Chains A and B, each alone.
Chain A
């Protein structure tokens, strides 16, 4: 193993870490605000890649425009799911909305199978992104660099949103106490809508980068990335953005490094990930950055 190769793996690990991290943030934001594990989040991720696909195949949009449209459509999808499947159950026992989330996940997977077809479809690879950069012998795909740059931008924007804007203040107030947030004059429905929109857009961004890296899309493609990202959110401490990102990094790194250093064990990747989950929870039941 040479230094250059190690650096290449590191860059890939960081990029994949961002992809998981952005999905994990979707779980963590929604959980933080409405205390619901949105089990349909991985399938929202899947839908985003199909939005891109049909934007290009059906409407002949330029790829970048298709990406942008998909992000908006995915936000709308997230908002609609909340309105239809979660909002009516907001005052019901927690288990009801949990069941509804699982049902929504199956619904999306089956909907996609019926409407899009169960067979894998090729995801469009823009020429320009498949270029390989050579930085002093370290060969990095341009898409890896772009993944990292766009993710950093998305994170900075999210940080601004949550910690510097009125809407972010409302989200943080709501995360703690619905009734008191209402007493402050906060429009709870609108804030929750916004939360789902943000989480779903981030899922769309990571779905695009995921599909650029693994260019086959199909109705169940969101299942494992979804579970891994959910695990990332739990490892980091659900409700914590910093935690979701850290968990995402750990899982991205493990995934890449396992393939690089212990290729024989790469098939047990998920076993390693869940083992890490168990270990973290044993020592810190609230996750790395979670509060009791």
Chain B
């Protein structure tokens, strides 16, 4: 279980996170929604050790992992699909997946997970020897998720996976996310697409300018007047 307590992060004078707390129970889907600049990406980067935490604490199953180097976080089976996909355009689809498995040595397991990734995203298999940069936006997002799965994480964090994708692809994507969840992964999902996210989430948090404004079970937040006003278009 991941627990974040009173997290503060600043970029110079800009206070991006002003004391947020939340938890992600093992096996659940938790979503963090909020508008642009609310601090969603910063939260995930702080968990991964990509930005420095000023104060507060992040624990995984009771162990303090605050400000640990990213490769250590990854070896603790946390992984993130970054905002904007950030696949390696100069590497092939196959190599992108191999980088995802960078810390693993079990060749057989890697092969199995690659097959699993291909069963989730059959289109990637057709493009296995293509450079990542030649894929379409939707395919790149699939590759980014598949790449993250290759580290065999317990906790998969996704930063706005639906951003810039056609509605039909988004629908497909959310179905795959649910499938990944059913296979036993814990998921922390960040979205501006609040409706889709709250719909599949067990629990949701609403982030506003660096603070948690609201939280509750996903379906309950969907019915909340304030959430409807601000995030679901009235």
Contact = CB atoms under 8 A, between A and B. Distances in A.
Contact of A175 (B49, B86, B90, B102): B90
B70 A185 contact: yes
26 contacts: A166-B102, A169-B98, A169-B99, A169-B102, A170-B102, A172-B95, A175-B90, A176-B88, A177-B86, A179-B50, A179-B86, A181-B99, A182-B49, A182-B70, A182-B71, A183-B48, A183-B50, A183-B74, A183-B79, A184-B74, A185-B71, A185-B74, A185-B75, A186-B71, A186-B102, A291-B90
B89 interface: yes
B147 to A, nearest CB: 8
* For the complex of A and B, 3 pairs with smallest distance between CB atoms: A185-B74, A182-B70, A185-B103
Contacts of B103: 185
A179 B98 CA distance: 17
A37 B103 CA distance: 30
B84 to A, nearest CB: 10
A180 B88 contact: yes
B80 interface: yes
B71 A169 contact: no
Interface residues of A, number: 18
Contacts of B95: 169, 172
Nearest to A239: B90
Contact of A173 (B79, B82, B91): B91
B100 interface: yes
Interface of B: 48-50, 70-71, 74-75, 79-80, 82, 86, 88-91, 95, 98-100, 102-103, 147, 151
Nearest to A190: B71
Contacts of B98: 169
Given A170-B102, A185-B75, A185-B151, A180 B89 contact: no
A82 to B, nearest CB: 18
A60 interface: no
Contacts of A166: 102
A130 interface: no
